[in-house]
Every structure is written in structure tokens, then in C-alpha cells.
Structure 1
Amino acid sequence: PGPLNIDAERYLELVKPLPKSASVFVRSRVIGIHPRGRGNGFVEYESNVTDADGDVYVKMVNGSFRRGVRELGDIEPFQGAGATYSQKIAVPEREPDASVVQWIPGNQAHIYRLSGDYNPLHIDPGAARFGGFHEPILHGLCTFGHCANLLLGILADGDPARFRKIKVRFSAPVFLNQEIDVRAWHDGDGRAVFEAKVEDRVVVSNAYFEYSA
């Protein structure tokens, strides 16, 4: 395996409902590149799903860690440039207003590969060890999907039409055959800040979820 690209942060916003039948376009661009620790970089891409006139249906941002060009940690120090969606979001120091637990089965990463994400980090023990993990880790987007679905269920009666935005940071890996505990705190009408934990580890942080109240 070569140098790793690791999913670090995600943002998803439903600007307006997608039509049931239409031609849509995905327009993507790099919006920022910033240093993150010694020998690593953080790159953010913005992708908009639009109609033919450029009106946006969905906005997506992917922030990823680049942990090397030829080998891990070989990126030279550099000055960052561009915009960022990354932000610090603290959760209250009290019990959550809502919480829900989901079991992550042992075959979850195998099934998620069917989406087209074939990064060996998620299925090959050798690639996982090369990246500093003792075993393969769950795809960040799979964790993202679990969080969004669980929050939609406990905050918006499971109604996808009420979804507006979600922002997360993947702060620690999720392994298979574990329970993920999503904990949410109300932060105004139609908004909650949240975190996800596996045992005593926070695996999703600096996160919020917005929905139609």
C-alpha cells in the first residue's frame, strides 16, 4: 500500500429537494489546502449538485487528511490557502437531550464497498497496519450515514423531507462489531449539536444536525 488519504470531515446540505426526474450535474472544486500536524495536509473539496442553469440542489464538502506523497509523513511544511468549513463545535457538559445506539456488524465495511469505495484501509489488514490501525476501520462516509439516519429518527420522526444539513469531524476510527452511541443536544429550533462515541472514545465530534422543526 502507498501513502494514505483518510476521510476527516464531511458537510452535507440539502438546499432544495431533488426532482424525481431531471438531468443534474456535479460541479467540484478544491476550496482549501491547510497543514495539519507534522508531515500531513488537509484538503477540502466542495461539490454542488445543480440543474442545467447552475441552481444548487445539494452542497457537499469533503475534508481529507493527506498523510504522505511517497511515504507517510513526507509532506514538507507549507502555508495554508483557501477557505475551510472546518470549525470547533463543543457539546454541553450535561446529559444529552436525545441519544440512540446502533450496532455496527462485522460485514458492514464489506457491504459498504459496494458503493464504489475500494480503499484497502477498510478491508485489508496489511493496509490498515500501514496506516497505523491494528485492524481495518469503517468508512467515514458509512459512519456519517449511520449518524444522519439515527439523528433523523430521533429528532425528525424519521422524515427525510425534514433534513436540512449535517456537519461532522471523524475524530477517531470506528471498528467493526462495535456499538456506536449518538448523543444530541438541542441548540435552537431545528438544530442540534451532537457527538458519537464507541465505548469511551469520541469518534465523531465538532458536529451539528439541522432539520425542519
Structure 2
Amino acid sequence: MPIDAARAVSAEPRSAEISWGRKDVQLYHLGIGAGVPATDPDELRYTLESRLHVLPSFATVAGGGRGVVGGLSAPGIEVDLTAVLHGGQAIRLHRPIPPEGAAVATSRVAAVYDKGKAAVLVLRTEVADGEGPLWTADADIFVRGEGGFGGERGPSVRTGRPDGEPDFTVERAVREDQALLYRLSGDWNPLHADPEFAELAGFDRPVLHGLCTYGATLKAVVDTVLGGDVARVTSYATRFAGVVFPGETLRIRMWTGAAGEGRVRVAVEAVERDGAPVLTDTVVSHT
């Protein structure tokens, strides 16, 4: 079996030095759709170096996004990339991410779950600099055809859609070249650029990175609910329920809950495909 669960989980964590600068942050923000309109003061916080703040989802690409890539090459893991799907992503912020920094990222396979027709790898990356912990990120990676080995099924993270109408709904257009721009932040999976590879994976054309939608959604929540204050985000988790194709429109629905609850529940769908679900079980926790 290509996945040896016991060996993967017991393997020594891998550590690597990572660094990033303002240009990396700006490129990431542009990759998730920031900068429209280009001279809007609220957008300049994402694109102009003299005003720059860092959207917390930048954690998924800081240092080139080595956490997922490294996890797929960990001891006990040998998989076909055409069978790999990013199933979910969570980040927990220990403090705001600076626009420039250097840190140590320590990655390991935290768990391997048996979902029957697929295996799920939980790839955990903990990042700290000289002042202490910065963030912890968990990526849930589905590997189709690798389940059924008798392992634990794992916890359920389903939260469901809240009752009632959302408190806010916004729509965000995805550019035709969005995936080509986003991949410059470090995710070079050909699924998002190469039509022939996408066909081998079962798609009629390349799809947008799930983490691009992830970042665009967090930006919408920060801008709409949190007054543009990225430092208020303490954690952000989602489940990837469906693909997005470049050129489509995202409809992002937000439920803020009771006053003082400190979390926003979110659902994202593709407008052009009759509201096909894209992100579900999505929660942004905040101060």
C-alpha cells in the first residue's frame, strides 16, 4: 500500500527555515483577487507596501507553501498526484503575521484517517520566529483509492449551514487568469494550469486552487464583517466541497451569530452553476 499510516505518523517532524517579504505578501493578495478597484484605500492595504497588512490566510503560502508539499513526500507516503484532493484547511493565529519575516516551519503527518474509498492525511505545520509561535496550519488531504485499510475514520467537522438568511452576502468575480497568478505564490500543481493534466484528474479544464478560494473568502469576511482589521482573526477553518473554475463568480454568505459570539459562519457557492457548493463548514473566529 502506498500509504503506511503508522510509519507516516511516527516519523520525525521536518523543520525548515522560511522567509517572506512584502513582495510575497503583495503577490499573494493579488493572487486571491485583491486590488479591485486599484486605487480604493481599502484595497491599498493589501497592495501598497507603505500601508501593507497581512491577511492571515497568507500562512498557507508563506515560504512557498512547503507544508503540503513536504507532507506528501514524508516517510510512509507515496501517492499519485492525480488522486490527491485538498479536502480542508485550518489555521490558528498566535499573533498577527508581519509583512516581512523569517521563521522555522516544523511539519509532520498528524493523522491518517480511513474514509473507506479514500485516505485522509492531516498535515500539520507549526511556525515560530524568534519571538515565539506565529501560526499552526492543518491541511486535510484526500487521497482517492487509498482507504479501506482498517484505520480510524476520524472526527466529524460538519457544522452545517446556519438557519435563516445570512447577515451579509457578497459576490466576487474570479479572473480567467486567477489560477495562473495564484500559483506564482508556490503551488505549482499542474491541475491548475495544464489542461491535459486536468483531464487526467477528471476535469474538463484546469480548476482554481482551493486555497485561492480560501483566501478570497477570508478577505471578504475581513472586509465585510471585521472592518478590514486582519489582526482580529484568531482562526479560520473550512471544508472544500466543490471546485471553482476560473472565470466564475463566488457568492459568499456570512452569518455573524449573536453579539459577542466571536465567530462568522460562512458558505460559498458558484453562481454560474446554480449555486453549486464550494466551501462548507466554514468558520472564522475573531476577537
Alignment of 1:57-76 (within 5 A): 57-67=134-144, 73=145, 75=146
2:277 aligned with 1:205: no
1:48 is aligned, of 105, 120, 126, to 126
Unaligned runs of 5+ in 2: 1-79
Alignment of 1:173-192 (within 5 A): 173-188=243-258, 189=260, 190-192=262-264
Would you say how many aligned residue pairs link Structure 1 and Structure 2? 203
Asked if the contact 2:113–2:154 (Cα under 8 Å) also holds between the matched residues in 1, the reply is no
Aligned-pair CA distance for 1:82: 9.3
Q: What's the Cα RMSD here? A: 2.1
Partner of 1:14: 93
Provide the C-alpha distance between the structure 1 equivalents of 2:124 and 2:257, rounded to a whole number of angstroms. Answer: 26
More helix by share: 2
Query: Alpha carbons of 1:81 and 1:26: their partners in 2 closer, same or farther (altered >3 Å)?
Result: farther
Partner of 1:24: 103
2:155 aligned with 1:80: no
Partner of 2:47: none
Asked if the contact 1:9–1:169 (Cα under 8 Å) also holds between the matched residues in 2, the reply is yes
* TM, length-normalised to structure 1: 0.87
Query: Alpha carbons of 1:172 and 1:165: their partners in 2 closer, same or farther (altered >3 Å)?
Result: same
Aligned-pair CA distance for 1:116: 1.6
Partner of 1:136: 206
2:221 aligned with 1:146: no
* TM, length-normalised to structure 2: 0.65
Asked if the contact 1:6–1:66 (Cα under 8 Å) also holds between the matched residues in 2, the reply is yes
1:195 is aligned, of 267, 273, 283, to 267
More strand by share: 1
Partner of 2:61: none
Query: Alpha carbons of 1:107 and 1:187: their partners in 2 closer, same or farther (altered >3 Å)?
Result: same
Query: Alpha carbons of 1:197 and 1:161: their partners in 2 closer, same or farther (altered >3 Å)?
Result: same
Letter in 2 for 1:121: L
Aligned-pair CA distance for 1:20: 6.7
**SS at 1:110 equivalent:** helix
Q: Percent identity?
A: 29
Aligned-pair CA distance for 1:15: 1.2
Unaligned runs of 5+ in 1: 68-72
Aligned-pair CA distance for 1:191: 0.5
Provide the C-alpha distance between the structure 2 equivalents of 1:125 and 1:102, rounded to a whole number of angstroms. Answer: 24
Provide the C-alpha distance between the structure 2 equivalents of 1:211 and 1:76, rounded to a whole number of angstroms. Answer: 36
Provide the C-alpha distance between the structure 2 equivalents of 1:42 and 1:22, rounded to a whole number of angstroms. Answer: 32
